[in-house]
Structures are given as structure tokens and as C-alpha cells.
A and B are shown apart, each in its own frame.
Chain A
């Protein structure tokens, strides 16, 4: 069953069409890759899906509902979570607070409880604390709970960002170049982790990667974007041998 169905999506910045006639489908619990050379428009697609940008045209149907143009916080509440190409943690806050913020949309005490410090407040905070720790444990960050997020090494910041995204309890997780800046060892571990969370959380995952070889291993289907348009889509083997794709990537290396 299709979970995400994007039809004819269009976004332009001034005169430049960053995304054009973009069609895309993601099924429930599928892991699909979106690849393409730098500047192809991949991040723009993510920004359109998550509501950071408003599309100029087209529809984004998620879970049988058109979410195109909704505010980001509403799209999050419908079950879409993401990470960013250049990590966007709450840098000056502690590791655990970063995750706790993800639980705010389901907070079960109100402002009056907060100000009067009623038992409901303490119960609610305890639940949030326990849940946040659960997520930190999954990503092996529980020992760093009170550290300031920006003091973590790069790889751990990436993991924390994924932990925070998962804590919003998404149906679909979208990852923007999660392996960027990681060494091969870290990248391998990350890919295993992504595969594992997909199984364990029963997630549908959309993955952007610049490095083609990386996605070949984990993705079931791959879309290739170039100059804002899909130039190929199919199984990893099909993409690997696709002439247009090779040209797009070659063009990048030459230029």
C-alpha cells in the first residue's frame, strides 16, 4: 500500500525551478533512496515534504491526506520526522533535553499543573524522562545524557538527531545524507542501525544520499534526481547500469 504519493510537485526559487514535475511513491515499510548530484534538488524535496517550503504546485499525499503546504508542526503530528543534511540539534541544550522536546507534542499535563507543580506534573515529567532515556539507550547515548549536544563528537550528533526524530513517533522517517562526514566504519554502522530501526520501529524510510554506492546496499528502490527532475527510478541493479544516471554523475565529476 502506498504511504506517500507525490504527484507533479513543483518548486521554484525566483526563476530557477529547483524541483519540477516530481513524481514519487513510497510504500509502507519500504526503504527508498533518493540520489543525485549536488544541487539536484534532493534537500528541496525534503523541505517540501516536511513543510519547511511551500510548494508552487502538485500534491503530497501522506496516509491518504494531502499535506502539501501544511505547517511543519502539523506534518510532524501526522507522522513524518526528518534529520538534516547539516545537523540541526538544539546545540546549547543537553542531550536528554534534545530528545525530551520531541515528546512535547504528547505532553499529558497542562499549564496549570506546570505552574502549581501538581502531582500530575511530576508524573508527566517522570514519564518523559523515562521515555527519553529509552531512546538514548537505543543509540548508546545514555552515558552522555547531561552533556551539551554541541560537545558530542560528530558521529554521536548524527545519532542523537536520529534518536530525536524517532522520539516524535513517526510513521515515516526521512534522512538527509545521514552518513555525510562519517568515516567508512561509522557509515557501515549507521547503515546497519538504519536497517535495524526500520525493522524494530516498523518504519518507512526515505533516504537521501549523495554517495551512490552507499544506498545500493540498503535501499529497495532508488529514485535519481538531476536538475530537479527524476531521470531514473528502479531497483538498485537497474540504476547502477542506467546510462542517464552514469552521465549525470560523470558530468558532476568533470564539471
Chain B
């Protein structure tokens, strides 16, 4: 009974912390404490968190190296803009359509490619990511190479915040369950996993589809913040950026993915003025991390309630 009460209190505390964080930023935006460039920074940060956490489900937890995440982001972005701008639907319909379209694309690409292993899978997903980009370039309805412009800014702080939390919650809950254990067992030893009665292919596809859906969500938020989307934005370099975040944070750590996404966003932001040295510093950090901590910042560890309880207990 006592244990249950404690769990509820912890939960309540967490909700309050999240609500306070939300309110502070919302207030700062409303009264103009946050200028345009900071606003862009916060938006990019949330979008990067969604991208990194969702790719980590595929690359980190399932162990399937995918290099086409930006492709699903593109599908989500374009599908949602068609709904909102071209068809005049409300934002929520755009969000759902974006996620759904990206999920379907994930399924269609995942089923044939996930039979491949390691490098072959990486190359196949890279190829599909590029195919998505090239296809978009050649559809006049979505503007061809020029992309879609004049998109209404609908991505507000509440949408961003809610999307980021939902992404993290869904993926953390999925991983910490029997389904999550099945997914991780695929990464650990595919043959042993099969012999435990787990249809490894279907779990790879599940992780791929869920990851793609959230990449789609990130695409929706991106499109409705930056007014314009172009096929180039979602090319190989974007996919590579997301992979870097996941590797930097630690494959198989959601906490790591979040930390790395925040770090990379701020780094990009801070180095904006020094465009010439930006890529050098960026690469240097990567090299240093890979030499001194090849498993990434967090390895496969997570910050959980237990970790906080330990820190708290240790201080007393």
C-alpha cells in the first residue's frame, strides 16, 4: 500500500516538473523573452530529439543499421502539408496523416530490406531514402525540386512539447515491456531469439514502422515551423546527422539520444557564426568521442527513477 502511494507521488511529481517546464517556456515565448533565433533553436531541439529517439529504436535497440531516416521525415512533412495547406484540413489531421504515411512507407521499405543484414541493410535504407527524395523532386503536385512553400506556421510550443514527450513515452514504454525485450533480443542474438519463439522479422518491421512514424511526426513539425520544405532538406546528409546523434548518445540509450540531440542542436546554434570552422569542430568532437568513448556518452545506460533515487539517497 505504502509502495503504491510512493509510486503515485513520484508520478505526480514528474507531471508537475514537466508542467512547470512547459509553462516557463510558454511564458517566455509569450512575453517575448525568447527571440526568433532562440525560438528556432528550441524547435530544432525538439525535432532532433524526436528524430534521434526514434532512430535509436531502430539502430540502437533493434540493432538494424538504418541510414534512411530523413526519407521518412520527408514523407511525413509532405503528407501533412498536402492535408493542411492544399486540402485545408486542421493541423491534427496533418499530424496523423504525416505519421500514417511515414509508417506505411516504413512498412513498405522495411519488409523487403530488413531481410538484409549489417552493411547491406545500411546501403539499402540509404538507397530508399534517396529514392524518396528523387521521387519528391519529380512530382509537380508537391513542387518538384522547389518544394512546397507558403506553409502556415502551426507548430507551436504546445504541439512541439507534447510531440516530444509522446515520442519519448511511447518508445520508453515499448522498450520496457515484453515486446521491448523481444526487440532487444533480436539485436543480441537473432538465432537464439528465433529459437525462443520470436518472429524476428516481424519485430524488426515493428521497430522500423514505429521509428518511421515518429520520423514522420518530426517532418510534420518541421514543415509547419519553417514555412517551406524541399526534397534536398531530407537528403542523405540529414539522415547522417541523425545517425551521428544516436551514435554520440550511445546506441540503445534513449537518455543518450536525448542528450546528444540537445547537444548537437546547441553546438550547431553556437557555431552558426563560424560557418568555416563549424564542420571541423563538429568532426573533431565526433572523433574524440569515438576514440575515448566508442560506446557513446551513455553507452546503453538510462537515467531512470532508480538512478535519481540513488543520487538522492547518496546525498543524504
Contact = CB atoms under 8 A, between A and B. Distances in A.
Interface stretch (B77-85, B145-153, B189-197): B189-197
Contacts of A107: 178-179
B174 A115 contact: yes
Contact of B192 (A89, A109, A125): A89
B300 A92 contact: yes
A114 B195 contact: no
Contacts of A125: 177-178
B198 interface: yes
Interface residues of B, number: 25
B195 to A, nearest CB: 5
Interface stretch (A17-25, A69-77, A192-200, A228-236): A69-77
B177 A73 contact: no
Interface string B232-246: 000000000000000
B221 interface: no
Interface string B170-182: 1001100111111
Given A92-B300, A125-B178, A77 B197 contact: yes
A117 interface: yes
Interface string A100-126: 111111010101001111000100110
Contacts of B192: 84, 88-90
Nearest to A82: B195
Contact of B177 (A52, A102, A114): A114
A81 interface: yes
B200 interface: yes
A90 B189 contact: yes
Nearest to B206: A111
Contact of A111 (B179, B181, B193, B198): B179
B185 interface: yes
Contacts of A116: 173
Given A90-B185, A90-B188, A92-B188, A114 B196 contact: no
A174 to B, nearest CB: 10
A73 B189 contact: no
Interface in B256-299: none
B248 interface: no
B240 to A, nearest CB: 27
A23 B14 CA distance: 63
Interface of A: 50-52, 71-73, 76-77, 81-82, 84, 88-93, 97, 100-105, 107, 109, 111, 114-117, 121, 124-125, 128, 164, 168
